[in-house]
Amino acid sequence: MTSLSRCLTASQVGLAASACWVLAAAGPYPRAATPNPPPQLNPPGRVACGAYEAITTGAVGLRPTRLLLQRQGRLMTTVSDYAIAGVSCEDLTGDGEPELVARTFTGGAHCCETVRAWSLRDKPRLILDYAAGNAGGVSVRDLNADGRAELLLGDDGLAYFDDLDYTSSPSSLPLVACFANESFRDCTTEHPGALHDAAARFRERLEPSASGAAPKRVRGAALGLFAVSLLLGEEDRARQAIQEAVQNEKLMGWLDRVTPRLRVWAEARGRKLKRPGS
């Protein structure tokens, strides 16, 4: 699999780097996506994608607020938001035909980003409408070298969990999406490298705590490690690792109390990938 065939260049968007976020071929897993600040884009930008052309326009200051998708000069789709954060063209479905991927941003310190993808044949068809919330960003990679791309997204389902603040909580966890049966599905556990990487980072943040209530940052790290391990089917192993690192019965009791909520999160997070009407 190759990288993007066409995308916004640095000169088109006024950034130090290209607006493309697609990565080439399989390789080390990137860190989980983090919230994007309001992008400072310099429209208009144009991306050719098959027989279509995507144009960012409608600027307020230096940021484009509208995405126009045209075919032979005919307007087919319009998307408006506080900012168009990224646009790229890539074959996501493995059929040899390009799809258009766009990120839009609502503005705000931690919110909110949406990732959309359209199949581009006679008419554009929305195949992904993912509310990433705080966990903005997307990478397109072929993780198993089978010639078909996977989407690496962020999941903010545990941001501000319980009484944790945003910085302490595991606010962006990996979510890998695979295309099948005309839509995307959660296939994170089939590509566990991203989860193992996240687990290692949370494990590094665990520190022995005082005898009283555990600091929120320690609780957040424990929560992140436990949640990721739950997806991996390594719940008991994570519990033992947390107990050995933290040695705090109050924290372990808290994890026991919130485990049912974590199971609901684990079961529900793939539903966010369902496109409208599916």
Q: Which of 34-43, 134-143, 186-195 has the highest mean pLDDT?
A: 186-195
Which has more pLDDT, 28 or 22? Answer: 28
Give the pLDDT confidence of 111-124 residue by residue, as tens digits.
Answer: 899 999 999 988 99
Tell whether the model's pLDDT for residue 155 goes beyond 90. yes
Write out pLDDT tens, residues 236-271: 999 999 999 988 899 999 999 999 999 999 999 999
DSSP characters over 245-275: HH--HHHHHHHHHHHHHHHHHHHHGGGGGPP
Question: Residue 13 above 90 pLDDT?
Answer: no
Q: Hey, which bits of 72-197 come out as E strands?
A: 74-80, 83-90, 99-105, 113-120, 124-133, 138-141, 150-155, 173-180, 183-186
Other CB atoms within a 10 A radius of the CB of residue 181 amount to: 7
128: in domain: yes
Same domain, 45 and 139: yes
Assess whether 32 and 83 both reside in one domain: yes
**CA atoms within a 13 Å half-sphere pointing along the CA-CB vector of 151:** 34
Domain span at residue 83 reads 6-156
CATH code of 60's domain: 2.40.128
Q: Which residue has the higher pLDDT, 1 or 275?
A: 275
Instruction: Look up residue 18 and give its two tokens.
Output: 């290209």
- Which pLDDT score is estimated for 278? 52
Instruction: Report the pLDDT value the prediction gives residue 211, as an integer from 0 to 100.
Output: 45
Is the same domain home to 13 and 151?
yes
The three-state secondary structure class of 99 is strand
Q: What is the pLDDT of residue 206?
A: 85
HSE-CB of 181 using CA atoms within 13 angstroms: 5
* Domain assignment of residue 161, yes or no: no
Confidence of residue 276 (pLDDT cuts 50, 70, 90): low
Whole-number mean pLDDT of the chain? 82
Average pLDDT over residues 79-94: 92
Q: What does the pLDDT read at residue 181?
A: 82
Decide which of 108, 129, 156 is a domain's last residue: 156
- Cβ-contact 111, 127 below 8 angstroms: no
Nearest CA-CA partner of 129 in 140, 109, 113, 141: 113
In this predicted structure, what is the pLDDT of residue 88? 92
Query: Confidence class of residue 20 from pLDDT cuts 50, 70 and 90?
Result: very low
Nearest CA to 221 among 194, 236, 241?
241
Do 204 and 127 fall within a single domain? no
235, pLDDT greater than 90: yes
- Per DSSP, 63 falls in state B
Min mean pLDDT across 51-55, 135-139, 236-240 is at 135-139
| Burial class of 157 by CB neighbour count within 10 A (0 to 12, 13 to 18, 19+) | buried
Same domain, 241 and 124: no
- Is residue 212 domain-shared with residue 119, that is, in the same domain? no
Asked if residue 131 and residue 21 are part of one domain, the reply reads yes
Residue 214 has pLDDT above 90, yes or no: no
Number of domains in the chain: 2
The residue among 102, 131, 156 that closes a domain is 156
C-alpha of 200 from chain center: 19
Predicted pLDDT of residue 118: 95
Two structure tokens written together for 2: 């190759």
**In this structure, are 135 and 48 located in the same domain?**
yes
177 located within any domain: no
pLDDT value, residue 275: 63
